[in-house]
Amino acid sequence: MKYKVPEISRNGYGILDFSSDEEDIDNPVRLKSILKSSSRPTTKTSASEKRYIDGDYGKLDELEYFQDNFRDSVDYNVLNSSFTRSTSVQLDSVDDELEAIQKTISNMQLQSKAETEKLAQDFEKRNKSLWNDIELSISNAQKEADREYQEQQRAEEIRIRIEQEKDEKRKQEVKKQEEELKQQKQQRSRQLELEKAEADKQKFGLISAKNDYDHWYNLILNIKRSVLPQVAENPAIKKACSASKRKITPKIGQLTNSISQTSRITNEVNDVLNEPKRLHGEQSPAYLWLLNHLSKCLIRQAEAEVSAKITTAFPLARLVVSLVVGDHPQLADVLMGRLVKKACWIVPFYPRKSEGETDEAYNKRVGRKNSEETTVQYNDRMGGIAAFYFAILQTRLTANNLVLTTPAQDADLINRLPVHFRFSQSWTWLSHALRPPLPTLSTIPQLLATFFEILGEPYKQAYGKQAVKVLQLIKSKIGDESSWAKNSEANITRIKLLLDKWQTGQSLSSTDGRLWEN
């Protein structure tokens, strides 16, 4: 704060005021020296100086006015005494004002200091609050980060544990499957040993093909002579059989490789067959009549569908094996008789014409429809029937591959299946088919090609080195025209291609149609 000299001092004592605004009131020594300098005697002032003073410093005071008007002698003692008193009064007034100013300044300084301290305290408080908020935010962020990290760690631990459990489960499943496969192989090996021993007996003619043919052919003749007339002569049984016949016939044509479709049809056919069996017994004419009718339906389907598309033989075979190992084992005998009567190649055996037998009767006995049927048509039909029979032989005897009407263990299924429908018959059939003069007949090359397409790979796996020897023998003879029928070039070519695949390590048989479809 700047100090301004009072008006009376500036005008009365000639003190200049050009520097009064610039001097600090906190310097009282300087102020007092200025005031004391005004007590020095004044000199006579010229008219020009007077005007200067009047113009710049104000009018003359009373003493100066007195000196100008009364130039006579003056009593300086009186004058000095008067001036001294005036100066003392003025100095006391300045000290009082200075003291008041200093008090005001001191109060202002105290107030400023208090305000400064308050501002500093407020700033410190705000600064502390700000840092507390920052530290709290950092702490919360750190806690959130720690929480997220812990959650991630827990999630990772859970994921690792789940993966380990899955991996362990997969290992257990693989181990279980390997053990089951090992057991199946051991069981299959024992089964093949028994079947091969039995097939070896038949291979050397202990049970000749002719005897087999006669046995099955006569079985059907017996049904025709004794069973069918009993049903025809009894109206009640005939009516019941006709109703059951209408239920069975359309279902055979509906068979596909679908699990649900095959299961449904198998159960429905099983129920129809069980009706006369429960009422009259398994030797009743009505029951045998239905088994005979079902066999004829299956063979007609094989002639029509399987001859055109070989994979359709597998669902038919699965239906037959499911019924035979279930509630209807007699179906195996009736169906085998029907197969041999319709196609003598199932044994295989080609009968000679009997003395006195007509051409029509002989053609019917070897499976020809009529004299107008060509050799190609006949061979195609025989191929379809043979494919159906081969599909039965290769059907796996496991619970998950069949529609079982009664529960059974896999080990028990082989005992429920008659010998003529077991896989060992594949060895017997091929050994008979390769004996002269059958290969020189045009039907055998077609049936051999069908055999390899359906049974080739299972045959090779089951009989190992022995199967390899047989295949090598066929391949060595396939180019010998004198060993085969002259009008079967197409089927000979099929056999060559299949054996070439086998020799290059490829599978002889396709898996199409063998497995269930959802």
- DSSP line for 86-145: HHHHHHHHHHHHHHHHHHHHHHHHHHHHHHHHHHHHHHHHHHHHHHHHHHHHHHHHHHHH
pLDDT above 70 covers what percent of the chain?
79
Residues forming CATH 1.25.40.510 domain(s) in the chain:
205-503
Q: Which residue has the tokens 């079902």?
A: 294
Residue type, 158: I
Q: Nearest 5 degrees, angle CA 222-CA 226-CA 228? A: 105
- Say which CATH topology domain 205-503 has: 1.25.40
Specify the pLDDT at position 466. Answer: 94
Mean pLDDT over 408-434 rounds to: 92
pLDDT tens readout for residues 456-482: 999 999 999 999 999 999 999 888 888
Specify the pLDDT at position 35. Answer: 46
Of 48-62, 170-184, 397-411, 414-428, the range with the highest mean pLDDT is 414-428
Please tell me the distance from the alpha carbon of residue 39 to that of residue 81, in angstroms, as a whole number: 11
Q: How far is CA 128 from the centre of its chain?
A: 57
State pTM to two decimals.
0.62
Q: Is the pLDDT of residue 6 over 80?
A: no
Positive or negative: CA dihedral 268, 271, 276, 277: positive
Please tell me the distance from the alpha carbon of residue 235 to that of residue 284, in angstroms, as a whole number: 15
Of 139-143, 199-203, 444-448, which gets the smallest average pLDDT? Answer: 199-203
pLDDT tens readout for residues 255-291: 998 999 999 999 999 999 999 998 888 889 999 999 9
Count the Cβ atoms, other than its own, within 10 Å of residue 427.
24
Q: Is the peptide bond before 348 cis (omega within 30 degrees of 0)?
A: yes
Structure tokens at 181: 């496969």
Task: Give whole-number Cα distances, 289 to 238, 242, 484, in Å.
Answer: 10, 10, 41
Q: Is the pLDDT of residue 212 over 50?
A: yes
Of 83-87, 313-317, 398-402, the range with the highest mean pLDDT is 313-317
